């Protein structure tokens, strides 16, 4: 079945370490997105990519970085510059630039 | 920026009861989306609405795109325990899915 796979499900890191979250999709979607979810705050856009080798900052990009070397993959790196990295991270994709998003099952990152 | 107000913030109901939640926007949009997020999982698209006045059903779920194009509601009939989760409305404006705006969610608890 087609879908979006995020790994790992849970991730624990020490403060000051960079960490990379994986997102892979086999839906042949051009556009991919990363969101951060905190309790009571809904979903906030970190980065998005409409096509391979191109990506744009979202509303809360500071302290994060991404790459889009392959259509099916859009990894997110949470750097040590992100002041409050503990959160639930959601990856999504869409078939074109104006279609509803399909989400992965998320990665819960805890930084201590 | 756009504001999307979703209410109520949370609901506690008995199994078998009907549920209604709504979203209002400060701006006019062309597409309303309703997602459900199970605990610890990613949001799943329930219903998409594309025209003002449109009424769409998906099983026990019914959603409507308000005639003013600034609001939408979601009804769940005869609730069951697996309806538990967070329901998000979202607006998809013209110009790209990266501009998708989410409400803050309605957390539904169903008591057996």
* Res B95: pLDDT: 67
CB contact under 8 Å between A33 and B94, yes or no, is no
A43 to chain B nearest CA, in Å? 7
CA distance linking residue B86 with residue B106, whole number of Å: 5
- Asked if A43 and A34 count as a contact pair (C-beta separation under 8 A), the reply is no
What pLDDT band is residue A1 in, cutting at 50, 70 and 90? low
Mean pLDDT, contiguous 10-residue spans, chain B (112 residues): 84 97 88 93 94 94 92 96 95 74 93 91
* Res A40: pLDDT: 73
Residues 6+ apart with CB under 8 A from B4: B23, B24, B25, B26, B89, B90, B91, B101, B102, B103
Return the higher-pLDDT residue of A85 and B4.
A85
* Res A41: pLDDT: 76
Each residue's pLDDT tens digit, A34-75: 999 998 778 999 999 999 999 999 999 999 999 999 999 999
Q: How far from B35 is each of A68, B41, B104, CA to CA, in Å?
A: 26, 12, 12
* Res B82: pLDDT: 95
Q: How far from A58 is each of A55, A87, A108, B67, B97, CA to CA, in Å?
A: 10, 17, 20, 31, 12
**Is some CB atom of chain B closer than 8 A to the CB atom of A49?**
no
CB contact under 8 Å between B92 and A104, yes or no, is no
* Res B83: pLDDT: 97
The position carrying tokens 């709504």 is B22
CB contact under 8 Å between B88 and A105, yes or no, is no
């Amino acid at each position: 079945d087609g879908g979006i796979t995020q790994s790992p499900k849970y991730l624990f890191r020490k403060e000051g370490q960079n960490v990379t979250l994986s997102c892979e999709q086999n839906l042949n979607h051009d556009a991919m997105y990363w969101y951060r979810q905190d309790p009571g705050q809904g979903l906030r856009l970190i980065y998005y990519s409409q096509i391979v080798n191109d990506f744009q900052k979202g509303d809360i990009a500071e302290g994060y970085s991404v790459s889009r070397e392959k259509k099916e993959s859009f990894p997110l790196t949470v750097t040590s510059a992100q002041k409050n990295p503990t959160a639930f991270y959601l990856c999504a994709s869409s078939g074109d630039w104006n279609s509803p998003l399909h989400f992965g099952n998320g990665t819960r990152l805890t930084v201590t | 920026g756009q504001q999307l107000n979703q209410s109520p913030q949370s609901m506690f109901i008995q199994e078998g009861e009907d549920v209604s939640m709504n979203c209002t926007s400060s701006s006019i949009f062309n597409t309303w989306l309703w997602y459900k997020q199970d605990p610890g999982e990613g949001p799943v698209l329930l219903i998409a609405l594309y025209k003002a006045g449109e009424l769409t059903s998906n099983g026990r779920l019914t959603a409507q795109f308000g005639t003013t194009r600034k609001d939408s509601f979601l009804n769940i009939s005869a609730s069951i325990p697996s309806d538990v989760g967070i329901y998000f409305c979202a607006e998809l404006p013209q110009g790209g899915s990266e501009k998708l705006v989410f409400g803050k969610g309605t957390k539904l608890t169903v008591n057996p």
